């Protein structure tokens, strides 16, 4: 029972870190008048790449930073600040400010956005990667590490389901509702960022 509770908690946290609602707003602007199926293909590729990046950096990122002499407390503070900035930017959004450049609406090139900017930096940007590394380093057993990786996968599956449903029923999607969801995500992100920064400061003290 404890295992499922931890998976649920981590999945919820990673959904906040991924900020799929913000990515959805950009994706809608990027595909323009292209068929929903094209947007779904882009979303699927973006989620797969983001999942691979998230797991890769969670498993190896700490070793890289430790080799550079950067301790975990310092890294937590840095990751917390980045996440705070991202969350605060969502709170300050006015209308749909995630409109994609018009050149991305070209049917021949719009699939290129699956990797950049959708997978990186929108889904798994520096703040998300930093938080994943911090969580991974706090976990000591193989089961805990497996739980973290499973939660990453589940969070991305949920994100893709969100993209799929919204793109399939785009005419029913409310811009105002999307804005509210973005602000709620930003509020949760700021809360997580504050806690991460406090943990980092306590680690130094």
Q: Tens digit of pLDDT for each residue in 20-37?
A: 998 998 888 887 777 888
Helix spans in 123-174 (H): 126-138, 142-168
Range 167-172, long-range pairs (CB < 8 A, 24+ positions) = 167/27, 167/28, 167/31, 167/36, 167/39, 167/40, 167/43, 168/36, 168/40, 170/28, 170/36
Q: Tens digit of pLDDT for each residue in 109-134?
A: 455 788 888 999 899 998 899 899 88
- DSSP letter, residue 115: I
- Cα–Cα distance, 103 to 3 (Å, whole number): 46
Q: Tens digit of pLDDT for each residue in 51-65?
A: 999 999 999 887 887
Q: What's residue 205's pLDDT? A: 79
Q: Residue 146: pLDDT above 60? A: yes
Q: What's residue 95's pLDDT? A: 52
- Cα–Cα distance, 71 to 39 (Å, whole number): 40
129 vs 69, more confident? 129
102 vs 197, more confident? 197
Give the angle 43-169-19 at the CA atoms, nearest 5°.
45
| Number of neighbouring beta carbons within 10 Å of residue 54 | 30
What is the domain extent for residue 19? Answer: 2-204
- Cα–Cα distance, 102 to 140 (Å, whole number): 47
Q: Kindly tell me the sign of the dihedral angle through the C-alpha atoms of 34, 38, 39, 40.
A: positive
Structural domain total, the chain: 1
pTM of the model as a whole: 0.86
| Number of neighbouring beta carbons within 10 Å of residue 3 | 12
- Cα–Cα distance, 73 to 139 (Å, whole number): 15
- Cα–Cα distance, 72 to 51 (Å, whole number): 23
126 vs 47, more confident? 47
- Given a contact cutoff of 8 angstroms between Cβ atoms, the answer to whether 83 and 192 are in contact is yes
pLDDT mean across residues, the chain? 85
């Amino acid at each position: 029972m404890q295992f499922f509770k931890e998976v649920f908690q981590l999945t919820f946290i990673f959904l906040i870190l991924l900020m799929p609602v913000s990515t959805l707003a950009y994706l809608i602007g990027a595909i323009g008048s292209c068929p929903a199926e094209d947007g779904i293909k882009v979303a699927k590729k973006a989620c797969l790449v983001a999942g691979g990046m998230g797991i890769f950096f969670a498993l190896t990122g700490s070793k890289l930073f430790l080799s550079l002499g950067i301790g975990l407390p310092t890294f937590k503070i840095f990751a917390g600040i980045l996440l705070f900035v991202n969350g605060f930017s969502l709170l300050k959004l006015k209308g749909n400010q995630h409109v994609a450049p018009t050149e991305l609406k070209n049917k021949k090139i719009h699939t290129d956005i699956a990797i950049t900017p959708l997978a990186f930096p929108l889904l798994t940007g520096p703040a998300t990667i930093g938080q994943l590394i911090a969580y991974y380093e706090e976990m000591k057993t193989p089961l805990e590490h497996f739980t973290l990786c499973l939660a990453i996968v589940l969070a991305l599956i949920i994100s893709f389901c969100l993209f799929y449903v919204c793109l399939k029923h785009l005419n029913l999607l409310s811009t105002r509702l999307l804005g509210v969801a973005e602000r709620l995500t930003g509020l949760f992100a700021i809360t997580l960022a504050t806690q991460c920064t406090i943990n980092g400061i306590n680690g130094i003290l």
